[in-house]
């Protein structure tokens, strides 16, 4: 009886070990095959790109031959991306025209329904490179239906790249509804839109319906694009109720603003929040608003070090008038913080 039980346990253990080894071997084979097919697909895509380059240099590639070459969507997408990195100018545009004539974008768009985020992102990039009417339809579909935010942003970027401004309200609504935050690519897309159509971006900012984090991103994009035409929207941001949005707007005024923004910055300099005061002082100095030197002088007596420091440096940026004001404050007797800050700023300026 004992021997039979021992044999049964031993047999079961051997079967489990065999099953585990079989599973491990299957996983190794699957991984090897996956790597093999990925390498093979990449190699064939490179060959396709090289063939396109050679044929385009020799002359127009027959459409029947080209249709045969782009039979596989994944290889075609990889080849298009590789081609965009290797070829420029007239030759590249000629290749894209040929690909558009054989509806390469439509063939690549089949990948948009495949599993795997990287595959779909690759397809979106390749479709945007090819361009044309087929690309426009495929990218619009991807923008409206793709399940992830990264795909939505990528499709919006690709649409913008072929001259179509994506639905900004839809995009921002999708970003705000995403729990993990916006992908880094969103900042580049907003910058591109700000450069091409700053009033469209400022219009979205003016609605007031956006989450503060999105308002800040729009303001930052307008600043990076040096979109002076959107200054009114930036001014309204500098007086926003939300302190983070207000801070972004004041910082933006230091880049896009001018003498006409003295009232806003003077109001910010007297704000009860030290961060707002410090940003206002920095903006006043950058814009060289001598008319606000008295406000800066008052800020040298502020209880917060950052406010005093920024006010002192701002005065130093106002030329001789500001330096003279600093010297007057530094010459005062007593233990106030103002003279100490002024003396430090003058000493550092002289050392520099």
pLDDT per position as a tens digit, 201-226: 888 888 767 888 888 999 999 999 99
94 touches 127 (CB < 8 A):
no
How many other CB atoms are there within 10 angstroms of residue 221's CB atom?
24
pLDDT at 184: 77
109 touches 140 (CB < 8 A):
no
pLDDT band at 80 (very low <50, low <70, confident <90, very high): confident
Q: Which residue has the higher pLDDT, 73 or 57?
A: 73
Q: What is the mean pLDDT of residues 31-42?
A: 50
Among the ranges given (12-16, 115-119, 297-301), the one the predictor scored with the smallest mean pLDDT = 12-16
Q: Which residue has the tokens 């579909």?
A: 141
> Among candidates 171, 253, 178, 242, which has minimal Cα distance to 212?
242
Q: Give the range with max mean pLDDT: 74-83, 199-208, 283-292.
A: 283-292
Q: Which residue has the higher pLDDT, 246 or 336?
A: 246
pLDDT band at 60 (very low <50, low <70, confident <90, very high): low
Structure tokens of 13?
Answer: 């253990």
Residue 88 scores a pLDDT above 80: no
Q: What does the mean pLDDT of the chain come to?
A: 84
pLDDT at 55: 58
How many other CB atoms are there within 10 angstroms of residue 244's CB atom?
13
pLDDT at 208: 67
> Among candidates 178, 171, 287, which has minimal Cα distance to 218?
171
pLDDT in tens, 242-271: 999 999 999 999 999 999 999 999 999 999
Residue 33 scores a pLDDT above 50: no
pLDDT band at 36 (very low <50, low <70, confident <90, very high): very low
> Among candidates 66, 124, 125, 133, which has minimal Cα distance to 94?
66
Among the ranges given (47-56, 63-72, 245-254), the one the predictor scored with the smallest mean pLDDT = 47-56
| Dist. CA 60–CA 45, nearest whole Å | 20
Q: All domains of the chain, ordered by start, with CATH?
A: 51-171 (no CATH), 184-206+214-249 (no CATH), 263-352 (1.25.10.10)
pLDDT in tens, 99-144: 888 888 999 999 999 888 999 999 999 999 998 888 999 999 999 9
Phi, psi for residue 18 in degrees, rounded to 5? -65, -40
pLDDT at 99: 85
The one-character DSSP state at 232 is: H
Contacts (Cβ under 8 Å, ≥6 apart) of 44: 72, 75
pLDDT at 178: 60
pLDDT at 34: 46
pLDDT at 231: 94
pLDDT band at 306 (very low <50, low <70, confident <90, very high): very high
pLDDT at 282: 96
pLDDT in tens, 148-190: 888 999 999 999 999 988 888 888 888 876 655 667 788 889 9
Q: Which residue has the higher pLDDT, 18 or 77?
A: 77
The one-character DSSP state at 147 is: S
Torsion on CA atoms 192, 196, 200, 206, rounded to nearest 10: 60
Q: What is the mean pLDDT of residues 302-324?
A: 92
């Amino acid at each position: 009886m004992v021997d039979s039980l021992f044999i049964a346990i031993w047999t079961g253990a051997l079967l489990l070990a065999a099953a585990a080894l079989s599973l491990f071997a299957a996983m190794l084979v699957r991984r090897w095959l996956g790597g093999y097919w990925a390498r093979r697909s990449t190699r064939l895509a490179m060959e396709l790109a090289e063939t396109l380059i050679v044929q385009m240099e020799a002359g127009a590639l027959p459409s029947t031959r080209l249709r045969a070459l782009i039979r596989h969507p994944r290889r075609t997408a990889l080849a298009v991306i590789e081609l965009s990195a290797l070829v420029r100018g007239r030759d590249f545009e000629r290749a894209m025209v040929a690909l558009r004539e054989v509806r390469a974008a439509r063939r690549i768009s089949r990948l948009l329904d495949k599993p795997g985020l990287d595959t779909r992102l690759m397809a979106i990039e390749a479709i945007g490179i090819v361009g044309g009417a087929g690309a426009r339809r495929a990218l619009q579909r991807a923008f409206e239906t793709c399940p992830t935010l990264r795909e939505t942003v990528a499709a919006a970027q690709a649409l913008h790249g072929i001259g179509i401004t994506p639905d900004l309200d839809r995009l921002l609504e999708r970003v705000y509804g995403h729990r993990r935050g916006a992908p880094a690519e969103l900042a580049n897309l907003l910058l591109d839109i700000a450069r091409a159509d700053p009033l469209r971006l400022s219009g979205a900012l003016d609605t007031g319906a956006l989450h503060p984090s999105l308002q800040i991103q729009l303001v930052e994009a307008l600043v990076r694009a040096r979109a002076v035409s959107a200054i009114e929207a930036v001014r309204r941001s500098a007086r926003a109720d939300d302190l983070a949005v207000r801070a972004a707007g004041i910082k933006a005024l230091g880049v896009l603003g001018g003498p006409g923004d003295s009232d806003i910055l003077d109001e910010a300099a007297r704000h009860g929040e030290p961060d707002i005061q410090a940003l206002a002082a920095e903006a006043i100095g950058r814009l060289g608003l001598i008319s606000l030197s008295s406000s800066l002088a008052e800020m040298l007596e502020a209880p917060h070090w950052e406010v005093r420091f920024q006010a002192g440096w701002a005065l130093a940026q106002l030329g001789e008038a500001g330096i003279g004001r600093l010297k007057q404050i530094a010459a005062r007797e007593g233990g106030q913080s103002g003279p100490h800050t002024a003396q430090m700023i003058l000493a550092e300026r002289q050392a520099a």
